[in-house]
Structure 1
């Protein structure tokens, strides 16, 4: 196994990072560039000095209510510059923020607050969403206040993000200041970002990409170009926002990026794309003339763990890249033994980006965060991603799909990602998703294709019939102008697809 391990492990470059909190880094930058614009949304601008003084006001109001180190505070705010003020205010108080998106399903929102043990919710939508919630105090946004040093330490939690759980109960991922600071340091190095960065502030606060949107520019003296809800939801308005705010750096999901035209956004020079598999056709459209990077990482590894540049000549399946600085990746079999390069296995991630675990879920934490038997470093852990990958001939890691997206059709085990990759190669198809749903004769595959005039069934079967087994061919094909997008993550909304498939029976 040692020989296999020595050639199959992929390790990022070593890179030191500051031993401090993300809040202290933002405050230090504000002291250097107090008059620079920190956050912009059209004509609404906040300078660094205004951002910190107003965040200090939020921190003072929270401290007066007992918030200190490791206190979990709900953040419930609309997508205005004040949202950034609120987040920084919680961090300056020493607390960790729990995103509670306004306007979402009320029962889920309050369930997350209860699971997180939140008794304070702050933000301009806190009163509307939690004013009548038993045991929860809703706090509006106060005025500025003098800055008080942040009491948090690097090992304290910065935020708790709740991700979907297979049981239907969301699980809270505990991410520390150290995780965030190390990640931001790494992605700045990866992308070459500097004080001129104007980031695309598109991610929902409940999606970990918001860490990148907000904190990369704020530690460099750049500007967060924060999208409002309406601009974020419409491709035409999104294009206008990006162009008029001169966005030059940003992360976006493939589903949303596919709706935009690169020719209309020439100033956007660094595009990070991820959260889902990046299609080769999308790289072909967006890579020419700019820096186009794939970005892979579960919330449990702090935003991104693997990344790398993509060219216009990539083929399916598109590589996700190599580990970020200070991280390591292993491809293992079911017994967690390394497999040789080129063979498929589960991706394990190690490094300082690994979260502390799941809030109040010790058994689940122990199941997904396992001791590292490979590095020889005492106490090191690895996160089991549940993603199937292989290491390509050039050393890059190639994402093949989720282990739990394997289904059985007529007794045959099928990887839905493989079916999607084949259908994506059919000329005239711009988007594809495949789901397994109950049918009249058992589970069946339903393919969703864009555009609405995507190739017909006969053409599809002629193309895919020589590339897929009979059981892998979709029983039904639904064509649409666009695939549904989750308003929270910007990713493909697969539950909505399954509902559409069942409704179309």
Structure 2
């Protein structure tokens, strides 16, 4: 296979043409990435490579790179390969623990920060790989993370396949809206270099920019089904009925009928299809808009065959395993497929997870497509789940509802019975809470769990003693009497207890950091800072330890599922102590800050849905007498939100500690519809942030709160699907406390735009 760029222009680095940067050789002034010409990018790659790595090059050293959809990141990728290094791709969305695990698995020696100001950091790894290679993280279908190495030659060959498939001329504009940290978009970038197309990297969260690319800016826009679903929900802002000017190809995930219909309704076009793997890159494609489950035919230069369990060929209409040959021998793709007489391939599911009933195979992807669109379901996945009593494979359906505790499972079973034949219906339905996706948008494989370090387990086992000591000091009024400093003898006489025992307990409390010992006399101005704002929280946690978050309740929750918790209501005996804990000084502070963030005009109409006394409405009315503030109390504060909300009735809606209380989460669509043009939604709540403190609060939601939207990311993704752009605002104080401001009808300026 011939390729442009047969000789390297960076020979001083000891590299060869076998790097993506080699495709820039002889590049013209045509823009190759954004408004940078190929010649300018080649000069930048050579100059920055020399500046960072000298003339000796990297010799196959593995360099970690946070690869975002930006010109700077893509240029940094080319720099590493041109200098003879191998790039370990780190997702720009990775949290610290995920980033550390990726670096350890990849054995990275260096970390390169993109951009002119970015530098190189030396890491602990000593890994080497083929110069010019790109190392990608994937969990495949196992749940165990691994590193897949793609040689530069493999990526260049994939780029050549795209060049021949699309057949577009130099300078054709290609918008990369799928994350380039994923193999799918990375292959398209190689195609842009090979064909001298203009790559337009777009932030996958900037939905407005992606929609504009489809409508008018790009000949092709590359995205995942998850992104396509969000973009299809974007308002057209007056665009006429004529189809969009560009075409769209989706890969790295299944396409459903409801997605095809939504995309056609919004843009007037269908979705071209792409199929491949992290190991091989793209190998099949359909340039039309085939039905769900169809992947078209082989791309140029790809041989394929469908074989039975013995490795023999199978005929059209028969099920077999798909294998492809890219010139290096036959490679199993791991999918069961079926071909029609025209050569179109239909994917039935992963070979290890495909479901067999008698002599037929169930296409799990088609089951997913037929059951999608049920109200309140964010995502679903059909999979093999062992063997039934009759010897056939069992079919399980994993569901990620908006609120698992309130999800109508029986109504969904009826939905499945009306949409699927008797032989294709799931044997069991399993509800899940936190939805994890890979960079390409696919639902991540189930994670593999193991016990933590023995020292951590031992510390947790002893941890209850510290809390019980605090609760005892609180309930005996010792803690509240220590504000100005007291001796044990003085306290004992005051509350009527044994002074020696109290002194011993205070010494132990000091070791736990619960109290501080001072001198016998406090000088003026040297008194201990009062422990204000936590008294209510301590009282509530003391109550929860006895009746809301006990080991018995957690065990019962495990046995019964999400509906096994005991949601606090206005009739709960713990109502008053909960309201006192959650509506103290910290909540007052957030309400003031949140109103400033809303920036409401005089006379604004605001609806506050709250599990508290209505702090936002009180503050708004005190500030602006012409404003109108309505309040609906939910959860422990009241049983409101029974009546439908009027559409377009409010300039702002505030959810103050209300997001997870039934039925708020399931009615978010209705709540958003209550906003008038340009209206704003403010969510004031706690979110699980991966910390121990955040996990403590999240356990409360499972046992006696609501199970919806544990993470801020899940909420912002859901709001983006409702057409709102979001901004998260951290609030000092309680860990995980956030203000999420969502705006309606914006076109530029921020994430999820």
Confirm or deny a common fold (TM above 0.5): yes
Partners of 1:279 and 1:338 lie apart in 2 by 30
Aligned partner of residue 296 in structure 1, secondary structure: strand
What is the aligned counterpart of 2:422 among 448, 464, 468? Answer: 468
Partners of 1:331 and 1:237 lie apart in 2 by 41
Partners of 2:424 and 2:307 lie apart in 1 by 30
1:432 shift after superposition? 5.6
What is the aligned counterpart of 1:388 among 330, 333, 336? Answer: 336
1:402 aligns with 2:377: no
Give the conservation status (yes or no) of the 8 Å contact 2:48–2:79: yes
Aligned partner of residue 183 in structure 2, secondary structure: coil
What is the aligned counterpart of 2:254 among 266, 271, 277? Answer: 277
Q: Which residue matches 1:434?
A: 381
What is the aligned counterpart of 2:33 among 34, 39, 47? Answer: 39
Q: State which structure, 1 or 2, has the greater radius of gyration over its C-alpha atoms.
A: 2
Q: Which residue matches 1:233?
A: 205
Within a 5 Å distance, the mapping from 1:134-283 to structure 2 comes to 134=124, 157-165=132-140, 168-228=143-203, 232-233=204-205, 235-236=207-208, 238-240=210-212, 246-261=217-232, 264=236, 266-283=243-260
1:307 aligns with 2:285: yes
Give the conservation status (yes or no) of the 8 Å contact 1:75–1:100: yes
Aligned partner of residue 491 in structure 1, secondary structure: coil
1:186 shift after superposition? 1.6
What is the aligned counterpart of 1:336 among 292, 306, 311? Answer: 311
1:323 shift after superposition? 1.1
1:122 shift after superposition? 0.9
Aligned partner of residue 258 in structure 1, secondary structure: helix
1:163 shift after superposition? 1.3
C-alpha spacing 1:307/1:213, structure 2 compared with 1 (3 Å): closer
Q: 108-117 vs 428-437, which deviates more? A: 428-437
Give the conservation status (yes or no) of the 8 Å contact 1:389–1:401: yes
Give the conservation status (yes or no) of the 8 Å contact 1:52–1:85: no
Unaligned runs of 5+ in 2: 7-16, 386-393, 448-557, 565-753
Q: TM-score, normalised by structure 2?
A: 0.48
1:335 shift after superposition? 2.3
1:24 aligns with 2:22: yes
1:446 shift after superposition? 3.9
RMSD: 4.5
Give the conservation status (yes or no) of the 8 Å contact 2:159–2:188: no
Partners of 1:75 and 1:263 lie apart in 2 by 35
1:445 aligns with 2:422: no
C-alpha spacing 1:205/1:110, structure 2 compared with 1 (3 Å): farther
1:111 aligns with 2:101: yes
Structure with more of its chain in strand, by fraction:
1
Question: How far does the alpha carbon of each residue in 1:348-367 deviate from its partner, in whole angstroms, 9 at most, with x for none?
Answer: 11114xxxxxxxxxxxxxxx
C-alpha spacing 1:291/1:187, structure 2 compared with 1 (3 Å): farther
1:213 shift after superposition? 3.9
Give the conservation status (yes or no) of the 8 Å contact 1:100–1:109: yes
Q: Which residue matches 1:348?
A: 323
Give the conservation status (yes or no) of the 8 Å contact 1:196–1:221: yes
Q: Which residue matches 2:41?
A: 51
C-alpha spacing 1:453/1:402, structure 2 compared with 1 (3 Å): same
Q: TM-score, normalised by structure 1?
A: 0.69
Partners of 1:415 and 1:122 lie apart in 2 by 43
Give the conservation status (yes or no) of the 8 Å contact 2:374–2:412: no
Matched residues, number? 421
Return the structure number with greater relative CO, CA threshold 8 A, min gap 6.
1
C-alpha spacing 1:66/1:340, structure 2 compared with 1 (3 Å): same
Unaligned runs of 5+ in 1: 1-14, 138-151, 353-379
Give the conservation status (yes or no) of the 8 Å contact 2:136–2:182: yes
Partners of 1:334 and 1:449 lie apart in 2 by 37
Question: How far does the alpha carbon of each residue in 1:227-279 deviate from its partner, in whole angstroms, 9 at most, with x for none?
Answer: 23xxx2253454256557x1221321122212223994855523211212222
Partners of 1:474 and 1:82 lie apart in 2 by 48
Within a 5 Å distance, the mapping from 1:64-103 to structure 2 comes to 64=54, 67-76=57-66, 78-103=68-93
C-alpha spacing 1:113/1:130, structure 2 compared with 1 (3 Å): farther
Partners of 2:213 and 2:340 lie apart in 1 by 38
1:164 shift after superposition? 1.0
1:401 shift after superposition? 1.1
1:92 shift after superposition? 1.5
1:320 shift after superposition? 0.7
Question: How far does the alpha carbon of each residue in 1:52-92 deviate from its partner, in whole angstroms, 9 at most, with x for none?
Answer: 23222331144328534533222135543211220111122
1:189 shift after superposition? 1.7
1:297 aligns with 2:276: yes
C-alpha spacing 1:104/1:455, structure 2 compared with 1 (3 Å): same
Aligned partner of residue 218 in structure 2, secondary structure: coil
Aligned partner of residue 91 in structure 1, secondary structure: helix
1:443 shift after superposition? 9.2
1:488 shift after superposition? 1.7
